[in-house]
Amino acid sequence: MKYKIFNTIAFRLTLWFSGIFAVCTSFVFLLFYYLATQTIQNQIDLELTDNASKFSAIIHTNGLMGARQLAILEAQAAGEKLIFFRILYPTGEVFASSRMSYWKDVQVSKTALQKLRSLDLNIFETIEVPSTGQKVRVLYSYVAANAILQTGVAMDVYSKFLSAFQLVFISAMGFIVLFSAVSGWLLVRGALSGVETITKTAQNITGSNLETRVQGTGNKDELDHLAITFNSMLDRIEELVRSIREMSDNIAHDLKSPVTRIRGFAELALVHEETLEDYRVMAANTIEESDRLLDMINTMLTISRAEAGEADFTLKTVNLSGMIREACDLFTPLAEDKHISFSNIIENEIFVFADIRMLQRAFSNLIDNAIKYTLEGGTITIIASMENQTALIKIKDTGIGILPEFHEKIFERFYRIDSSRTSSGTGLGLSLARTIVRQHKGDIHVSSYQNKGSVFEIRLPINNPMVI
């Protein structure tokens, strides 16, 4: 799937990255800017106050005429375009001043004088000279009981410094945003490249190609973990697909034989002229084969439904001991026919909450297998007991046994060990038995040695009202 760059996580994270950098840098700049302006202003104010003190001292010693002299001299010394002095009467009338040709547009502020009179504190103002655009810091201060000093300093140098500061900031900001965007993009792309690999691997996977695996980073980070999880998911899918394939092969194989036989009977009936009795036998064989087929299909359906939780189980409290005894009675003649010693040790009064019909099917399959896979003269023992709220049923035989590698496989649908293909069967018996037992929250296991015999062990919790 192609996606727009604006929708990518990498793009969004980069945007966040640069945004956060820009905001932080602006904050730091504003803080610096504020501190710088405050410091500069404090410095100027201090300078102006110093001047006012000087004037105050001169007036004290030399009177107002001395102050007039000082105004001219101080302004000349510092630069007449840099500083000016005006000595005013408290009414605001100018008594004396430095040369004011450059500063002629600077008026005496009535509000400042008013404030000065009422507050009796130094009054500072920052004004802009309309004709020159020059910023000036002005101080109004009482330098004698009847004299006010209006003195101003050009803020040119400081304004230039602040403009330079702004320029430096804007360039630095541009660089930082660009740098954070590029580095953010590279970092995020690098970090997310693992996701891209997983996506590509997933895209390349088809039904016939499930072997591809994602290369882990080996860093034990989140992406490595994702890759490992993704790979183990693929392992499970591969295993599932393999077992589905195997199962469908088995189904095809097992359904083919009865259908072929049915076809054979029909062909015989068509080609040969037989007696009525022969036709009857053929019809009976056809019905038998069809029943086998139907039985297989029904068992398959039962297993599927039970596994999907849709099986039609009717749960009641049932006497398991009685049910097992009945099943044993049912199979005794079959065992006797094969000269197998068939016995049971069944504890009385084992009650479970279960679907008796389904449990009967499960036990029948297990006893049937025991008889089927035990040679003449062998022994089969059925043991049922109680153990910690669990009914324990063992079906022991001294039959052909099962190699360890098949202990799990025999519970798969349609799985039959090759060596037992000569005996009749569908490969569904154990699968159905396990599904039924599991639906009752129990489980079934086998322990077996080849040529020594097998023990199938069922554990059923007796108190399982939440089953199915």
User: Where along the sequence are the contacts to ligand ADP (CB under 6 A)?
Assistant: 365, 369-370, 373, 397, 399-402, 410, 415-417, 420, 425-431, 454
User: Smallest distance from the beta carbon of 311 to ligand ADP, in angstroms?
Assistant: 18
Q: Burial level of 414, CB count in 10 A (0-12/13-18/19+)? A: buried
User: Smallest distance from the beta carbon of 315 to ligand ADP, in angstroms?
Assistant: 25
Strand 390-397, strand 443-449: pairing? unpaired
Nearer to ligand ADP, 68 or 416 (CB): 416
User: Alpha-carbon distance 402 to 380, whole Å?
Assistant: 16
Residue 343 dihedral angles phi and psi, to the nearest 5°: -135, 165
Nearer to ligand ADP, 83 or 400 (CB): 400
User: Smallest distance from the beta carbon of 341 to ligand ADP, in angstroms?
Assistant: 15
User: Alpha-carbon distance 66 to 69, whole Å?
Assistant: 5
Q: Burial level of 392, CB count in 10 A (0-12/13-18/19+)? A: middle
User: Smallest distance from the beta carbon of 447 to ligand ADP, in angstroms?
Assistant: 11
Residues sharing a CB contact under 8 Å with residue 307, sequence separation 6 or more, in sequence order: 435
Total residues belonging to the chain: 468
Nearer to ligand ADP, 52 or 370 (CB): 370
CB nearest ligand ADP: which residue? 425
User: Smallest distance from the beta carbon of 373 to ligand ADP, in angstroms?
Assistant: 3
Tokens found for residue 348: 């009385």
Nearer to ligand ADP, 78 or 247 (CB): 247
User: Smallest distance from the beta carbon of 257 to ligand ADP, in angstroms?
Assistant: 13
Ramachandran bin of 190, using left for φ above 0, alpha for ψ from -120 to 50, beta for the remaining angles: alpha
User: Alpha-carbon distance 358 to 361, whole Å?
Assistant: 5
Nearer to ligand ADP, 59 or 432 (CB): 432
User: Smallest distance from the beta carbon of 295 to ligand ADP, in angstroms?
Assistant: 11
Tokens found for residue 200: 């590509």
DSSP state of 149: E
DSSP string, 210-268: ----PPP-SS-SHHHHHHHHHHHHHHHHHHHHHHHHHHHHHHHHHHHHHHHHHHHHHHH
User: Alpha-carbon distance 454 to 371, whole Å?
Assistant: 11
User: Smallest distance from the beta carbon of 450 to ligand ADP, in angstroms?
Assistant: 9
Nearer to ligand ADP, 52 or 433 (CB): 433
User: Alpha-carbon distance 226 to 49, whole Å?
Assistant: 70
User: Alpha-carbon distance 373 to 434, whole Å?
Assistant: 19
User: Smallest distance from the beta carbon of 432 to ligand ADP, in angstroms?
Assistant: 8
Nearer to ligand ADP, 21 or 373 (CB): 373
Nearer to ligand ADP, 389 or 422 (CB): 422
Nearer to ligand ADP, 188 or 402 (CB): 402
